[in-house]
Amino acid sequence: MGRQDRNRRDRLPKPPNSRNDDYQREKSPARTITSIALQLISPLKVSSKSLETCGVTSISADKLINYVKSENRSTFWFGPMPGNMYSINVTRPGTSVITYLPTCLVPSDKKIPQLTVKTYSNTADYITAVHPLSQGSNMRSVTAGEMTVEFNNAKLDREIITFKNQPEIVTVNYPTLQTSQTLIKNAGNLKLVQ
């Protein structure tokens, strides 16, 4: 082995089990971020209740109802549906998101459209969220009893519901296209979680 080969070998990083202090101090940004993320989501610091209320786990209708009651939240939904579990996300202040999950889906399965009901506690909370639905010339507004239903005639898979005597605003995203009559009828089936 020549002198040049020895010098090149001395410049190579040493394996982690060696006593090379430079190697031990050097950490890649990805490794540092990963260790910070693991500390943040450590099972010791995250309760099962907080996982249940950030849309990460499936919960039963009874757990969802109990949570909403215990927090004294005004949250709308269509009520329990056979063959579904639910997720609730309350991580954004003034907003509750209930997702209906057929038994074959998990909350993280975002590629498959799911029935989602979002309740905004007031107009200010609604305005701070991004709502591309409320823009465009295809918007239609229908007043039905004590509520107003808005939807886009070009894409009938979402609706916005406002109430005359309540401050909440509700948006519903459907997994499939609906008819305008179905959107109006469904809006009438919304109720507070109780």
Query: In this structure, how many other beta carbons lie within 10 angstroms of the beta carbon of residue 193?
Result: 21
> Same domain, yes or no, for 63 and 95?
yes
> Same domain, yes or no, for 179 and 129?
yes
User: What pLDDT shows up at residue 137?
Assistant: 77
> Same domain, yes or no, for 94 and 32?
no
Compute the distance between CA of residue 62 and CA of residue 70 in angstroms, rounded to an integer: 12
> Same domain, yes or no, for 124 and 32?
no
User: What pLDDT shows up at residue 93?
Assistant: 86
Q: Is 85 helix (H, G, I), strand (E, B) or coil?
A: strand
> Same domain, yes or no, for 186 and 92?
yes
Q: Are 128 and 169 in contact (CB under 8 A)?
A: no
> Same domain, yes or no, for 26 and 112?
no
100, pLDDT greater than 90 = yes
Q: Which residue range(s) make up the domain with 164?
A: 48-192
Total domains in the chain come to: 2
User: What pLDDT shows up at residue 27?
Assistant: 47
User: What pLDDT shows up at residue 186?
Assistant: 96
**Least reliable range by pLDDT among 6-15, 16-25, 92-101:** 16-25
183, pLDDT greater than 90 = yes
User: What pLDDT shows up at residue 51?
Assistant: 57
> Same domain, yes or no, for 92 and 158?
yes
DSSP lists the bridge partners of residue 100 as: 86
pLDDT digits (tens, 9 = 90+) for 46-70: 345 565 666 667 899 999 999 999 9
pLDDT digits (tens, 9 = 90+) for 154-177: 889 999 999 999 999 999 999 999
DSSP annotation of 14 reads P
Q: Is 99 helix (H, G, I), strand (E, B) or coil?
A: strand
Compute the distance between CA of residue 31 and CA of residue 50 in angstroms, rounded to an integer: 26
10, pLDDT greater than 60 = no
Q: Is 185 helix (H, G, I), strand (E, B) or coil?
A: helix
Mean pLDDT of 113-128: 89
